[in-house]
Amino acid sequence: MPGPTNRALLAAVLAVAAAGIPGAQEILDRIVARVENDVILLNDVRALSHYQELVDGKPETEEQILDRLIDQWIVRTEADVSHFPHPSDADIDRSLSQLQKSFASIGEYEARKKKSGLNDSEIRRIVGLQLYLSNYLDSRFRPGVQVDSKAIEDFYANKVLPQAKSRGQQPPSLDAARDSIQEALIQQGINEQADRWLKESRVRLHIEKLLEEGAK
């Protein structure tokens, strides 16, 4: 990712270039937030919006996406400082394969990809970044998450059994579901700890949002 100076310069150059084109309707890119000495660009918001459209069928609002990008900046900065290893090409390939398999067919995936406007290299870049961030959060917070047998049994009774009943399915036994339930509860604990850490981190940082101001 470009450094703060290069990113700010890029935004300025794009703004000047757009202003010099007869009939140009809008600036191609602009700064929508400053986090410490770095910047987040409108194209960053657009890229994540398009990725959400690919994965979920509908993106969040630009304000919500900007908040996610600020959180990603915090996680990425911490991971980079700690020299956390980036995912391998094989790891990214597996994540891409899982993404494609989440669709009913490869045809549906290709249709949604076309609608999102993203190409394969852009999707790979975003998937790689998401994997890098999630791996770091997992390594940082998983050791502090404790799941006891009571929590697993409660999840089974309150989540697994009612869900199977509502679908008219035979529920798995508690023993058969134990490992998957434990992992789900661990992920929940990681998310809760990460959310608290991100809120605390935001308070210590200089964050200036310019999205609404820039949209006028």
Q: With bands split at pLDDT 50, 70 and 90, how would you rate the model's confidence at 8?
A: very low
Give dist(CA 86, CA 131) in Å, integer.
8
Q: Is the pLDDT of residue 88 over 60?
A: yes
**Would strands 38-41 and 207-209 be described as parallel, antiparallel, or unpaired?**
unpaired
What global pTM score does this model have? 0.81
pLDDT digits (tens, 9 = 90+) for 146-180: 999 999 999 999 999 999 999 999 999 999 999 99
Q: For residues 12-33, give the mean pLDDT.
A: 53
The superfamily (CATH) of domain 4-215 is Porin chaperone SurA, peptide-binding domain (1.10.4030.10)
pLDDT score of 17: 35
Percentage above 70 pLDDT, the chain = 85
pLDDT digits (tens, 9 = 90+) for 198-207: 999 999 999 9
pLDDT score of 163: 94
pLDDT digits (tens, 9 = 90+) for 94-130: 999 999 999 999 999 999 999 999 999 999 999 999 9
Strands (E), 94-212: 207-209
Diameter over CA atoms, the chain: 69
Q: Is the pLDDT of residue 28 over 80?
A: no
65 exposure class (CB count in 10 Å sphere: 0-12, 13-18, 19+): buried
Q: Is the pLDDT of residue 142 over 90?
A: yes
pLDDT score of 211: 85
